[in-house]
Copies of this chain bind each other. A is one copy, B any other.
Amino acid sequence: MSDKFILALHGGAFQKPQDYTEHTAFLETLLKSAWRNLKGGQAALDAVIEAVVGMEDSGLYIAGKGAGPNSEGDYELDASLMDGENAKAGAIAAVRGVKNPVLAARAVMEKTPHVLLAGTGAERFIDECGIERLKDPQAYFTPSHTESQVPKASGSHGTVGALALDRDGNLAAATSTGGLVGKKAGRVGDSPIIGAATWADRDLAISTTGFGEYFMRAVAAYDVRALCAYKGQTLESATATVLDGIKDAGGWGGLIAINKQGDIRLDYRCAGMHRGFVREDGATYARSLPDA
């Protein structure tokens, strides 16, 4: 077992800088907890799920409790995860009223031969698995908070994600979102799409956030991987190439990426991104706005 480990996370990219003290402080808390767990030998997959569940439950980010309603007032959630050790993956899309979408994505990966379940079929599967669905979604989600944070007219998106390298050298990635506030019912962004928002293999792990359609058309997460694996780019260069391409196409957002060598990228093309990481030395980095 190696001494080396990493947890990196994001709580969404945003277009409007404001006071994000609370958001940044919460990432810090998650990083400290993740450090203890990974130090104790926790598997990468468990670590990313725990971090994402923490962000989903916090109500601070546009995922889980903090999700915004779609144009019909429903809360439709998406999530995906990938286990780099065995290339297994699971995802759910357009699922109403699930408390922790990332747990549903894990159930798809572990209990079915499928990668992605969507809509009412996915909801029935979640119920069969005994994963918590909300009896009163309107009471649970925090639209007033979300709406003040990201005005509907801004077309803002929000997402959370986490990546881990564990002491066995395995990597994992997870992404979860409430999607675009005021989005069209049934709209599925990049978050539940393996290769668009989420990727993990034996070399690296990636999770994205931002204007999802641009990340889907760019196959953003996998493109970072391909630029590293096929073109020999560094993680820094590959991340910049993909984000610059999205910006040039008219999109915006960010991504986090880590690799087995210990490189960490938390990069974005917009006002800021809730982001952080911790390594084996225990020093935490957490920011929302650009570094001074």
> Hey, which bits of chain A sit against chain B, CB under 8 A?
70, 72, 76, 82, 87-89, 93-94, 112-125, 183-189, 193-196, 199, 212-213, 216-217, 219, 222-223, 226-227, 230-231, 249
Smallest CB separation, A104 vs chain B (Å): 11
Copies of this protein, total: 2
Smallest CB separation, A178 vs chain B (Å): 15
Residues of chain B contacted by A226 (CB below 8 angstroms): 222-223, 226, 230
CA distance A117 to B125 in the complex (A): 20
Among residues of B, the one whose C-beta sits closest to the C-beta of A195 is: B219
Contact A120 to B186, CB < 8 A, known contacts A195-B222, A219-B195, A226-B226: yes
CA distance A82 to B117 in the complex (A): 23
Whether B230 and A121, one on each chain, are in contact in the complex, defined by CB atoms closer than 8 angstroms, is no
Smallest CB separation, A207 vs chain B (Å): 15
Residues of chain B contacted by A183 (CB below 8 angstroms): 114
Whether A219 and B194, one on each chain, are in contact in the complex, defined by CB atoms closer than 8 angstroms, is yes
The 9 lowest CB-CB distance pairs between A and B, nearest first, are A121-B186, A119-B119, A121-B185, A195-B219, A226-B226, A230-B230, A230-B231, A219-B222, A116-B188
By DSSP majority rule, is chain A's interface helix, strand, loop, or mixed? Answer: mixed
CA distance A113 to B188 in the complex (A): 11
CA distance A187 to B119 in the complex (A): 9
Contact of A186 among B118, B195, B216 (CB under 8 A): B118
Contact of A213 among B76, B115, B249 (CB under 8 A): B115
Contact A124 to B89, CB < 8 A, known contacts A94-B119, A222-B195, A223-B222: no
Residue of A212, A216, A227, A249 contacting most chain B CB atoms (<10 Å): A216
Whether A188 and B227, one on each chain, are in contact in the complex, defined by CB atoms closer than 8 angstroms, is no
CA distance A54 to B114 in the complex (A): 29
Could you give 17 example pairs across A and B, Cβ below 8 Å?
A93-B93, A93-B188, A94-B119, A94-B121, A114-B187, A115-B213, A115-B217, A116-B187, A116-B193, A118-B119, A119-B186, A120-B186, A194-B196, A194-B219, A195-B216, A199-B219, A226-B230
Residues of chain B contacted by A93 (CB below 8 angstroms): 93, 118, 188
Smallest CB separation, A79 vs chain B (Å): 14
Whether B117 and A184, one on each chain, are in contact in the complex, defined by CB atoms closer than 8 angstroms, is yes
Contact A216 to B184, CB < 8 A, known contacts A121-B76, A195-B196, A231-B230: no
Among residues of B, the one whose C-beta sits closest to the C-beta of A78 is: B118
Smallest CB separation, A157 vs chain B (Å): 11
